[in-house]
Amino acid sequence: MMAHTLAKEKNMDKILRVNMSNLSTSSENVPAEWAGLGGRALTSTIVAKEVIPTCHPLGKNNKLVFAPGMLSGTAAANTGRLSAGAKSPLTGTIKESNVGGTAAQMFARLGIKAMIIEGLPTGDAWYGVHVSKDGVVITEETELIGKGNFAVVEALELRFGKKTGVLSIGTAGEMRMLTSNISVKDTDSKIRSHGRGGLGALMGSKKIKFIAIDDTAAPGITLADPDKFKEAARIFAKALISHPATGEGLPTFGTAEMVNIVNAAGGLPTRNFTYGQFEGRENISGETMRETIIERGGKPKHGCQSGCIIQCSQVYNDKDGNYVTSGLEYETIELMGANACVGNLDDIAAADYVMDDIGVDSIETAVTFGVAMEAGVLPFGDGKEVLRILTDEIGRGTPLGRILGSGAGNVGKIYGITRVPVVKNQGIPAYDPRSIKGIGITYATSTMGADHTAGYAVGTNLMGVGGGIVDPLKKDGQVDLSRHVQIAAIMLDSLGLCLFVGFPAADVPTCVPSLIDMLNARFGLELTPEWIGGLGMTTLKTERAFNIAAGFTNIHDRLPEFFEEPLLPHNAVWDFTGDEIDEFWNF
Amino acid sequence: MNLTIQLFATFRNNRFKEAQMQFADAITLGQVIAELEITIGEVGMVLVNGRHAPMDQELSDGQLVALFPMLSGG
Ligand code: SF4
């Protein structure tokens, strides 16, 4: 058992290191070049500097880096996002996976600018990590090994108190499955996820079952100019409320509002990306979900962290009014509901709960089921079998469970399937790139592998967010659009903002200036809006340089061949040439 | 002429989900929206047969018009 005291330099932000090779911990002052960074900009900078790009992601040279956003821990709305960075076990690229929940705000209040977990323990023992104002303690763990995330959260609340923050892995992470994620406790002791990129496997390789966070008597955030901050935070909150997407759409229908929108546009992945519309879409729509939730006494809107004024989350109950799951996202609903044809919210919600519990990414896992269904492993639409496989096969690590737990790309290879929707081995989320082409450029070029949150072109393609529609069915303007939203996403991911802040940031003129004002008032700086754009570009280039050093080339910035097949209803095809895609990197 | 109108999200409140409706020949998209008592400013996305269309587009018999308020976010 080891501890390192942080208490001395109370108000100075720190970098914490947890070395699992010798089970030691230390804290360092923040190097000058990291001082102006946070969230994704910081995790990617640290990974690029300290991780050997060609290393094995589950070996001794990979590191798992957590960093709260630059504005996390303050009273400003929707600023409590946590970034987790590493070389991804799933893609082999650099990875930043972003999450809500309570951990980022706790880290920030403890003055933890980043926590870097490195090395590998020898031997078979598992560990728990406890972080508090007094430092970091690593303790051998036996009780919770083999347990699901919900049991882990419950047990840790008993052990450390109700308010404890939790980052944990489920059984899938313990088994180092490539679909495994890192769970983060939310305000209701339920779970949000660092979903993408198999980071649960990385935490599992380091033999860490959980990280518990106690922010009792934390030094808290010292604002350079509290009055200026307060005023800017007020303007920012007003911008969030005034935009119809964040002020009305998301709190009313959740992200599931996208089901009908994307279906109408002909880009709703259906039957493993065979069709662009789903007959049963009304049953899985945001509109139906809202009615169902209200009827059953759930919560149609709900925040995953304190200070969330958008409240895209919800609490979904069963017919008898018992809790089933929360934070049921469009991606999960669409990919299970239409792409795997499960078609009803109750089965999807039940699957969502199990995925959270065993700790697998609901996007990667749902895409995997689509591929497995095409391969004949189970029939399309068999929600009960999905549930059984999640619980009895993947959750227990049977041979079939390990195959499916290795993600869509590997399942496609193992079963000899050509319709395998992945880029850089990461499953394509719930927008077909043939009929929503801007998001296709993001899938192709993102340093993360296929990831809609890396550059959400959908808002502009379909709804004209940011100054008018860029026709989703035409190639014109998509590369520029994707570049623009990818750079903007880095701003959001680095400041600790929820992705949805991107809509008011694009449309409400006071939004970005208020963010800059908050940054300046928080840190006593004089940053300009140009600085933010520069941060996005620099970070993107840093990430790409890592990927190139890891062996990736422009040839990996391509969509799977099957997207050349026409997609109904528009007979849309993916017809970007390699050169056209490569234009993305001209900046 | 006949058009199929689909409404989504809050546009359904006190209206309908889907209806076949009669309109004057050569009516424009903007006029159809006005007849539904929806202001153009509320419209986030409007598709005619699944494609984005300008407000002055003349519609023809049998087309499908899908109307969404401003929503975004997955
Ligand atoms: S808008 Fe949704 S994801 Fe963002 S902080 Fe609120 S509940 Fe969490």
d(CA A18, CA A27): 9
d(CA A73, CA A55): 34
- Interchain pair B74, A312: CB under 8 A: no
Give how far B16 is from chain A: nearest CA, Å.
13
pLDDT attached to residue B72: 76
Measured from the Cβ of residue A227, the count of other Cβ atoms closer than 10 Å reads 9
pLDDT attached to residue A141: 98
Contact (CB, 8 A) for A93 and A451: no
Q: Which residues line ligand 1 (CB under 6 A)?
A: A 78, 100, 303-305, 308, 310-313, 498, 500
pLDDT tens sequence across A493-532: 999 999 999 999 999 999 999 999 999 999 999 999 889 8
Both tokens of B34, joined, read 């006005």
Task: Give mean pLDDT in consecutive 10-residue pieces for chain A, a chain of 587 residues.
Answer: 40 90 97 95 98 98 98 97 98 97 98 98 97 97 98 98 98 98 96 97 98 97 97 98 93 95 98 98 97 96 92 95 95 98 98 98 98 98 98 98 98 98 98 98 98 96 93 98 97 95 94 96 92 94 98 98 97 98 97
B62 touches chain A (CB under 8 A): no
Contact (CB, 8 A) for A4 and A14: no
User: Is pLDDT at B67 greater than 70 in this prediction?
Assistant: yes
Helix or strand (DSSP H, E) at A136: strand A135-141
pLDDT attached to residue A467: 84
- Interchain pair A245, B9: CB under 8 A: no
Residue A73 one-letter amino acid: G
pLDDT attached to residue B74: 67
pLDDT attached to residue A7: 36
Phi, psi for residue B60 in degrees, rounded to 5: -130, 160
- Ordered domains of chain B (ranges, CATH): 2-69 (3.10.20.30)
A2-213 CATH pick, 3.40.50.720, 3.40.50.880, 3.60.9.10, 3.40.640.10 = 3.60.9.10
Task: Kindly provide the residue ranges of all beta strands, DSSP E only, lying in A418-539, ordered along the sequence.
Answer: 422-423, 426-427
- Interchain pair A500, B70: CB under 8 A: no
Q: How confident is the model at residue B73 (pLDDT cuts 50, 70, 90)?
A: confident
Mutation test of the interface with chain B: which of A196, A257, A434, choosing the one with the most B Cβ atoms within 10 A? A257
Ligand 1, atom 2, lies closest to the CA of A312
Residue A506 makes CB contacts below 8 A (sequence gap 6+) with A459, A460, A465, A466, A467, A488
Q: Indicate whether this complex's ipTM tops 0.90.
A: yes
- Interchain pair B73, A245: CB under 8 A: yes
Q: How far is CA A44 from the centre of its chain?
A: 15
- Residues of chain A contacting B, Cβ within 8 Å: 244-246, 248-250, 252-253, 255, 257-258, 260-262, 264-266, 282, 286-287, 312, 329-331, 334, 429-431, 452, 456, 458-459, 462-465, 469, 471-473, 499-500, 503, 569-570
**A327 Cα nearest atom in ligand 1:** 7
- CA-angle at A249, arms to A439 and A533, nearest 5°: 45
pLDDT attached to residue A62: 98
Nearest by CB to B72, from A252, A431, A503: name it: A503
Global pTM value: 0.96
- Interchain pair B74, A430: CB under 8 A: yes
Please, what is the end-to-end C-alpha distance for chain B in angstroms?
36
Phi, psi for residue A26 in degrees, rounded to 5: -155, 165
Residue A17 one-letter amino acid: R
Domain regions of chain A by residue span: 2-213
d(CA A45, CA A41): 6
Give how far A368 is from chain B: nearest CA, Å.
19
Residue labelled with tokens 């998209």: B29
